[in-house]
Amino acid sequence: MYLWRKRASAAWLNAREESLQARFGSLLSITSRPDRRRIAIEIVCRSKVEAHRLIREFGGTAKELPRDWLKRFAREQKSKPLKIGKRLIVATLRSDGFPGRPALPSTARKPPLLVIPAGLAFGTGEHATTAMSLRLLEQLARGWRAGWSLIDLGTGSGILALAAKKFGAGEVVGIDIDPMAISAARSNSRANKLRGVQFLFGDAHSWKPPGRIDILIANLFSELLIELRPKFRHTKWLILSGILRAQEQQIVRALQQYRIDVVKIRRRGKWIAILARNSRLGARTGSSA
């Protein structure tokens, strides 16, 4: 395995991000920090040839990953914990390693913690699409009784599926076409001591819905989301992201054609995330109200 890396300006990334997301999916990691002008871009490559192809195309550097690269990245990378409402904190690692709780004020009420190692190219919550999806999920399931079901298409690190378990989901399944992502997600599940989450290798195109689903999350690019609309018929709620602002009206119209109502849209930078409801099915599930 090889890791390709490049630091680039926001303008460079804006011109290429959609293409990179479509080509590399969960193998792509983008990290921007307030104290740095340039953005860190990483792509996990399965071979030296693939890594050198990226260097020829975009510049940057590449290095071979050690066998224990997952643990090493967890030790090397740090970022500010992401607070999701009052019910969850997502952190990359504690001060002395993975897993653990980040430092918080002693007087603060400490929500449950979810630790996702940074730099794994599968999503840590830092990217706008993941952060917006997490917040929509927390708001949607707030007040629901435990036991609702969730499918996470394009699960990557498993962060959204694992967060759902923290929020009270019963049956949770994460699906990804990349076997490395599935391995990382299972590792994250074990490290966070979360049981009852299945991570399965599979293609979103060939995935068959297993009957009625309470929530389906899909952090994918918009063209694929539009193709997958027939598979949304048995899902009560949808959280869709990986959509550019310029594609907002296109995706909204495509959902309405399938009687899927847009309830809320979150916008951050050039990205949006959508909370939608299937008008054919009940609007609420598991609520104590």
pLDDT truncated to tens, each residue of the chain (289 aa)? 888 999 988 888 888 887 887 788 767 777 665 556 788 888 888 888 999 999 999 999 998 877 665 555 555 445 567 777 777 877 765 433 444 444 444 434 566 778 776 544 445 455 788 889 999 999 999 989 989 999 999 998 899 999 999 999 999 999 998 887 888 888 888 888 898 899 999 888 888 888 889 999 998 888 899 999 999 988 999 999 989 888 999 999 999 999 999 999 999 888 899 999 998 775 545 443 3
Read off the tokens for 100.
Answer: 């653990």
User: Which CA distances in Å does 196 have to 113, 136, 180, 272?
Assistant: 17, 22, 20, 30
| pLDDT for 254 | 95
Amino acid identity of residue 24, one-letter, is F
Neighbours of 109 (CB within 10 A): 7
pTM summary value: 0.70
| pLDDT for 282 | 59
3-state helix, strand, coil in the chain (%, to 5): 35, 30, 40
| pLDDT for 156 | 85
Assign residue 277 a region (left: φ > 0; alpha: ψ between -120 and 50; beta: otherwise): beta
Query: How, if at all, do strands 82-84 and 88-91 pair?
Result: antiparallel
- The DSSP annotation for 130-194 comes to HHHHHHHHHHHHTTBPS---EEEET-TTSHHHHHHHHTT-SSEEEEES-HHHHHHHHHHHHHTT-
29 beta partners? 42
| pLDDT for 80 | 67
